[in-house]
Structures are given as structure tokens and as C-alpha cells.
Amino acid sequence: ITQQTVAVSLDVEATRRLLQEVPNVYHTQVNDALLAALGRACGEWSSSEHVVVDLEGHGREELFPGLDTSRTVGWFTTIYPVLLERGPAQRWDSGALLKTTKEQLRTIPNRGFGYGVLRHIAQDDQVRKQMQEIPQSDLLFNYLGQIDQVFQGSELFGPARENSGRVTAHENRRLYILEVNALVAEGRLQIAWNYSTKLHRRETIERVAQRYLECLQEIIAHCERAEAGGHTPSDFPLADLTQEQVDRWIEKGSDITDVYALTPMQEGMLFHSLYEPGSSLYFTQLGCRIQGPLDAVAFRKAWEEVVQRHSVLRTSFIWEDLKAPVQVVHNHAELPWQEEDWRGSSREEQKRKWNELLRQQRDRGLDLQRAPLMRLALVRIGDESSYFVWGFGHILMDGWCLSIVMGEVFRLYEAYRMGQKPDLRRPPLFRDYIAWLRGQDEKKAEAFWRSELQGFKAPTRLRIERERRAGENGHEGHKLIRQLLSREATARLEELARTHQVTLNAVAQGAWGILLSRYNGDRDVVFGATVAGRSAGVPGIEGIVGLFINTLPVRAQLRDDESVIDYLKRLQQRQVEARDFEYTPLVKVQGWSEVPAATPLFESILVFENYPVDAALQQQIGATMKMDDVQVFNVTNYPLSLRVTPAKEMAIDLTYRRQIYDDKTAERLLGHLIALLEQIGAEPQRPAGQISLLMQDQYRQMLDDWNEEEDLVET
């Protein structure tokens, strides 16, 4: 029997600091510090920059959701190799070594669970052979944890002090030249160094073991310094950052709690916002009038709590010197709150000042690098009447979230107003959706979109774009016009949808496709459509505040012999198939298409609102107040945006760039769309190619005009 043991330990106070204080400084685990010190001590002993150690772990990893082996009796132990660095002696830095060791350990998938599988039972013979050719380390390390916790609270049981005898039979061959086992017992970190007297002298192992304790104490002392601390890339697994980028953007002591990548739509919005600085692109503004008694203090407090509840509302964006932009979540964000009292002004003056306040808020825009990306203003215009406006970056969230946020605000408001403690469940996290996005199969998405857009080579233009004259600047910016479909026509479309099992969204898309085809002269057209993006398999996705929407191409191909209803069904079926890939970034879809890279895939988009914003908000506000005069402002980068809102009278909003389309042309375009919708509802079996762009009264007027001309000619 040649095995002997050298036992060393830290005192109780040093152990406490190692367990409780050190992990908070660099966001590490105890094992990180233990292995960093081991790499340093053994590297010095062997005069090597690197030390390979076999790390023994419990192996009870959650390999997939729902797998919990924490109370299962069995042998799950894993052993896998880890490469440790000691760091050059002349540049010894405990902080750098601790961060390097931490990152090395975090790169190992599933804490090494797959190493043994690949080495011993992989079905691929070549893989198994390659794994078995990896030389085994001579050093084994195992941290058994805090044994004191096993007997905590028990008066009957405790650790026995008697020698339990040999752990392995003396006939067994030692697998490692040196085995290091660490545990915390009786409040002290205790380390046992097992070695062979045929290979090492006791004083040698004692010297190495003592140096190991010194390295641990150096790490503990370093972590107590004021300048110590910081993050590493593994703290933010949903962002592809280097250590240099982390050190630059996330300073020690900063209030940043998370960093992750952007969604496809966020990337697009960020690009266009940076491309047109100073514009109102993707600035969303919700303005309204609140009728009823309003406690301003409770209302503001409710908003502050909602901002704290949802990480998205405490988010800013970073893009400089990064491979890809990221969004950062702050622990706290001061609510930009403005409060005014205009009760002494006339109604006309109040309205003028209100419109000016809305315009100023839009013109100021937002600094995307400073959270929160929102502004709020509350204006008293009467004892029981107030104006309220909430302006925020559309890059944060979509329209779905308006009722979620406002609903929470008014529930919190009622609780604070009544002096009660709010009772709201913890909201699901937007980062869960980011994690889901990163796990999707891009190859399947590429195959789908290549097939969907095959043969389409140029964007669909309306051919009504205006020519800009030299020096002309009087029509800059966007303009919104609205028309309502009559109750009768809306009812017919709803009946068509029910009878033929198509959605009103499909009807609106079908009508816009026909209109584009007529204006463009091509039966194969493509336009953009905004999808909700909440079909992803993320638990609680309906209640997550964030930007899920995406804008993706819709291809409408008209056939001469096809009825309107068959055309709508075919269009709807293609959209159903596209739902599995609605998360795909538009920039990648365009890259997979046959449209030239420098050319946009489409120049108009259609947004179908699932429910009117004002009605949804009124459902949330409660019985004591009423919300009316709701105004929603939002401008996209597209030349032409169509928004369809279902109601008893379907509302159709057309937002257009005035430097591209003149006002009369835009009004005529919207009128033609109304005419198409009326005829689709009236004659769904009519061939799609025979639908007229004229409304019935316009058609009758045109016939009357022709008849009058014929009478004049005869006369």
C-alpha cells in the first residue's frame, strides 16, 4: 500500500469569505476559485503554463426540461478533462486568472456530461476512437460541496469522526498519480491530497498543498479590493461578446443585469433609426383623454412599478464596435415624468398646447443608448379630466403589449389608490424568447423562403410615384389618411369570412394584392405583412412584454380563372405554412430571394390589428374612469404603410411619404382599396381579375358622364 494523504485546510473565516464573498465579485462559483488556485499552484510546481486536470462532477444535469435527478438514487458521476492556466508569473493577476478559469469551465457543454458518452459508448467508431486517443490527466480534482448542509437542522445525525477505512481496495490500481478532494466540513475548507510514496516525497506534496492554500488566500484577498470585480462573456450567454467588449461596455458596479441579442425586427428598426437620425421613425406615441377622478401620485407610482416589473422597459441598446448590436437591461431606470396643469386655459388653448406637446415629444425622439426609452406626460385639463401621453421606442415592444402594460398600470393604480398591496404575478421574461430564437433551425427557414420567393426578381412598385422637382421640400415627412368601410360592407366581409373560413386578415391581404397587381400591371406581386410572432413555443408568451412582431413578404399570384374566394383561401394557406418561419430575419429572407441585394424586397406593408387599441385599453381602465380620444402615432421606414383595424366600420389607415406620393394620388389609392373590399364582400365568386377599382357610385357616375357626352355629341 503506497497511497498516503496530505490534508490541509483554510480557517473558518477564510472559508466564509471564499463561500460568501468571492462569488459575488466576478459572478463565479466556488469551483471556479478552487480550480483557478489549483491551476496556479500545479503550474508553478510543473513549470508549465497549462495544467490538464480531470474534473469529477455529480453528473445530475438537467439535459432537457423536466429531467430532475436531484432525488434519484444512482451513480451519475461524470469525469472530464479541463485545461487550466496558471498565468505568467510576472503578470500574476488573481482577477484575470479567475475570469479565465470561469470562462474555460463555462464553455464545457452540460458540465462535461457528454465526454464519457462520446469516449465510451458513441455509436460512431471514429468519434469514439478520437476521444479515447485523448491522453488522460495524471491529476483528479473533486469538490464534494458543503457537507455541513447535509446534517443541518438534525439533532440525531452528524458526521462521524472515526476512520471509515479505505475507500478502494488495496488490490485496485490507482488511476491518477495525484487526487485532490475538497469539501467544507465544520465551517472549514478541507483538502485531501492523495499521492503515492513511490512517486512523490511527502514534503513535496506538503509544499504544493501549502502553495495551493496560498493561491486561494491570494484570490480571497484580491476579491476584497475596491478595484476587483466585473463580468465575463458567460454571464451573458445570449450575446456574442468578447471579454474586451464586456470590460468596455459593462463597467464594474454598473446597474446592467442582462445583455442579449436583438430580435429580427429590432435589428431592422435599429438600422433604420440610425440611418435617419432625428426622424420620428419607430417612435410610438399613445395619447388619450382620461375622464374621471385621477390620483396623480398613485398613477405615477403605478408606472414606476411597471417599469421595474418588465425588463424591456429598462432596456437600452449598444452597437458601436460590436459584431452585432445587443440590448442591455438595467437594474433601475428613472421614469421620465412630466406633469402639467392647464385648468386655467380655454378648451381651444388646451387643445393647441396638447397638440404642441405631442409634436415636441415626437420631435425630441429618443437616445437608444439611454434607458428608459420612453416619456410620459400627464396634463390636468379639468377637475376630473386629464390628457395623458406615453411615448416609447417601438423597438421595445409591439402593439400587443399596450393592453398588457396599461392593464397592469391600472391594477396597480387601483391598489395604490386604495392603500392596498398590489398582487400581480411575476411576469415571464423577454429573454426566454431570445433564447428560443437562437435555437431555431435556419436551414429549414432558408429552404422555405427560397421556395416561396423562387422566380420573383424585382420589388412591386405602384408606378404612381411622384417626380421631385429640384429644390422642392414642402412635402417632406409622412402623412396619414383614413377611410371607413361602411357597416354594410364590413358586415358582408365578416359574413364572407365566416362562411368560407378565411380570416379578415386574409381578405385585407388579398385585396391589397389585387390592387398592387392592377397598379403594377403584373399578376405576381409581393408586399410586406406584419405578423404577431407569438406562435413560438415559449411558456407564457402571451403575457411577455417585448417586440415579437416581424415584417415578412407575402406573395400574391393572381390567376385568370380563379374566383376571389379561391384566391383568398390559397393566399391564406400560404400564410399558414409561413407561420412556422415567421421568426426569420427579413434581411436573411431578402438574401435568399432573387431580388438584387441593394434593392428592397417590397415597398409597401400591411398591418392588420387584431383589436382596436382604444377598445382594448378601455377594458383595462376600470369602472371609475373612461378613456377616449385615443391617438396612436407610429411611422415606419416604408414608403407606404397600410393599417387595417376591424370594427363595425372597418378602419383603413394609409401612411405615406409625401416626397414619394402626392396627397391626391394617395387618396385615390385608398379609395380604390375601399372599392375592392366592397366588391369582394358583394361578389366573392367573381374572378379576381375582374374586380373593379371603382366603387358602385363612382361606376354609376362614370356611366352618367359618358351618357351625357353621347347626348351632347348627338345634339
* Assigned superfamily of 3-61+75-150+173-229: Nonribosomal peptide synthetase, condensation domain (3.30.559.30)
Poorest-confidence range of 34-48, 137-151, 440-454? Answer: 137-151
pLDDT of residue 584: 94
Q: At CB < 8 A and 24+ separation, what contacts does 534-541 make?
A: 534/400, 535/579, 535/582, 536/433, 536/436, 536/437, 536/583, 537/436, 538/428, 538/432, 538/433, 538/436, 539/428, 539/432, 540/428, 541/428, 541/433
- Structural domain boundaries of the chain? 3-61+75-150+173-229, 243-426, 432-463+477-603+638-704
pLDDT of residue 490: 97
Report pLDDT digits (tens) over 122-133: 888 898 888 888
**Residue 611: pLDDT band with limits 50, 70, 90:** low
Statement: residue 605 has pLDDT above 60: yes
**Residue 696: pLDDT band with limits 50, 70, 90:** low
Statement: residue 16 has pLDDT above 90: yes
Question: With respect to CATH, is domain 432-463+477-603+638-704 assigned 3.30.559.30?
Answer: yes
Segment 334-359 mean pLDDT: 96
Segment 26-40 mean pLDDT: 95
Statement: residue 703 has pLDDT above 70: no
**Residue 535: pLDDT band with limits 50, 70, 90:** confident
- Fold topology of 243-426: Chloramphenicol Acetyltransferase (3.30.559)
pLDDT of residue 704: 55
**Assessment of whether the complete model's pTM goes beyond 0.75:** yes
Q: For residues 259 and 238, what is the distance between their CA atoms, to the nearest angstrom?
A: 7
For 693, the 3-state DSSP assignment is: coil
Q: For residues 315 and 369, what is the distance between their CA atoms, to the nearest angstrom?
A: 9
pLDDT of residue 702: 42
Strands 604-608, 524-531: pairing is parallel
pLDDT of residue 513: 96
Report pLDDT digits (tens) over 545-602: 999 999 999 999 999 889 999 999 999 999 999 999 999 999 999 999 999 988 999 9
pLDDT of residue 713: 44
- Please report how the helices 94-106 and 202-223 are oriented relative to each other, as an axis angle in degrees rounded to 10: 100
Question: With left for phi above 0 and alpha for psi between -120 and 50, is residue 165 left, alpha or beta?
Answer: left
For the chain, give the percent of residues with pLDDT over 70. 92
Sole residue written with cell 415578412: 552
Question: With left for phi above 0 and alpha for psi between -120 and 50, is residue 406 left, alpha or beta?
Answer: alpha
Segment 448-474 mean pLDDT: 79
**Residue 475: pLDDT band with limits 50, 70, 90:** very low
pLDDT of residue 278: 75
Segment 180-207 mean pLDDT: 95
Give the residue among 606, 609, 602, 614 at the shortest CA–CA distance from 673.
606
H or E element, residue 375: strand 374-382
pLDDT of residue 199: 94
Segment 628-635 mean pLDDT: 86
Q: For residues 414 and 393, what is the distance between their CA atoms, to the nearest angstrom?
A: 27
Say if 3-61+75-150+173-229 and 432-463+477-603+638-704 have the same CATH topology. Answer: yes
**Residue 66: pLDDT band with limits 50, 70, 90:** confident
- Tell me what the pLDDT averaged over the chain comes to: 89
632 Cβ neighbours under 8 A, 6+ residues apart: 284, 285, 286, 287, 399, 613
Half-sphere exposure in the Cβ direction for 39 (13 Å, CA): 34
Report pLDDT digits (tens) over 234-265: 999 999 999 989 988 887 667 899 999 999 99
The secondary structure of 185-199 as a DSSP string is ETTEEEEEEEEETTT
CA distances from 686 to 178, 463, 503, 517, 650 (A): 85, 26, 19, 17, 22
pLDDT of residue 91: 47
**Residue 89: pLDDT band with limits 50, 70, 90:** low
Statement: residue 471 has pLDDT above 50: no
Strands 283-291, 385-393: pairing is antiparallel
**Residue 477: pLDDT band with limits 50, 70, 90:** confident
b vs e for 616-635, b when ≥16 Cβ sit within 10 Å of the residue's Cβ?
Answer: bbbebbeeebebeebebbbb
CA distances from 145 to 151, 183, 189, 221, 507 (A): 13, 5, 9, 22, 63
Triad 97, 100, 101: Cα angle to 5°: 85
CA distances from 340 to 216, 386, 525 (A): 59, 10, 50
Statement: residue 534 has pLDDT above 80: yes
- Please report how the helices 30-46 and 202-223 are oriented relative to each other, as an axis angle in degrees rounded to 10: 130
Segment 50-78 mean pLDDT: 84
Report pLDDT digits (tens) over 171-186: 788 889 999 999 999 8
* 181 and 167 Cβ atoms separated by less than 8 Å: no
pLDDT of residue 663: 93
Give the residue among 225, 236, 229 at the shortest CA–CA distance from 254.
229
CA distances from 44 to 83, 88, 148 (A): 15, 10, 32
**Residue 474: pLDDT band with limits 50, 70, 90:** very low
* Three-state secondary structure string covering 602-661: CCEEEEECCCCHHHHHHHHHCCCCEEEEEEEECECCCCEEEEEECCCCCEEEEEEECCCC
**146 CB neighbour count, 10 Å cutoff:** 16
For 286, the 3-state DSSP assignment is: strand
Give the residue among 138, 87, 160, 79 at the shortest CA–CA distance from 112.
79
Report CA 62 to chain centroid distance, whole Å: 24
Q: For residues 574 and 595, what is the distance between their CA atoms, to the nearest angstrom?
A: 20
pLDDT of residue 48: 87
Report pLDDT digits (tens) over 396-447: 999 889 989 999 999 999 999 999 988 899 999 999 999 999 999 999 999 9
pLDDT of residue 162: 80
Report pLDDT digits (tens) over 291-344: 999 999 999 999 999 999 999 999 999 999 899 999 999 999 999 999 999 999
